[in-house]
Each structure stands twice: as C-alpha cells, then as structure tokens.
Amino acid sequence: MGPSQSQLRLLSPEDRILYKKWLRGGLLFYSSVMALMVLATVASHMITSAPSDVAGEPMHTAAIASKK
C-alpha cells in the first residue's frame, strides 16, 4: 500500500515528485496493458464469432470435435 497523507507530508518535495511520477508511470503502464488485452479480446471474439459452415450447415466447435 502507498504512503498515507501524513507520510507524504514528511517527504521532501523531490521525493514527492518522484513518487507521483512513479505512480503515474505505473498507472499508465497497467492501463495500457489492460487496453491491449481488451482490444485483443474484442478482436478474437470478432474473428471467432463467425459460424463454421461444414457441409453446408453451421456447427459449433464442440460438435466438430466430437465427430472426429
């Protein structure tokens, strides 16, 4: 957990600036990773949402696998 308000007041101005930069960088990094994962999920869903036409009729993956 991060420092409390009273602990932040005890830090020097340089340390506060460093802490805020570190915090901002961490938030930016993890937000970027989460956005990329959401985009990958949406892209994967868009690609795999098309029905599989096997012998003229749509089939689910489980049905295709069970016929093998």
Residue by residue, DSSP assigns 22-37 as: HHHHHHHHHHHHHHHH
Predicted confidence at residue 9, as pLDDT, reads 85
Q: How far apart are CA 28 and CA 36, in angstroms?
A: 12
Asked whether 19 and 8 are in contact (CB, 8 A), the reply is yes
| Residue 29 lies in domain | 5-67
Residue 1 near residue 23, CB atoms below 8 Å: no
Q: Using one digit for the tens of pLDDT, what is the confidence trace for 21-61?
A: 999 999 999 999 999 999 999 988 888 766 555 555 665 66
In this structure, which amino acid lies at residue 11?
A: L
The pTM (predicted TM-score) of the whole model is: 0.57
Q: In total, how many domains does the chain have?
A: 1
Token look-up 């949402």 returns 49
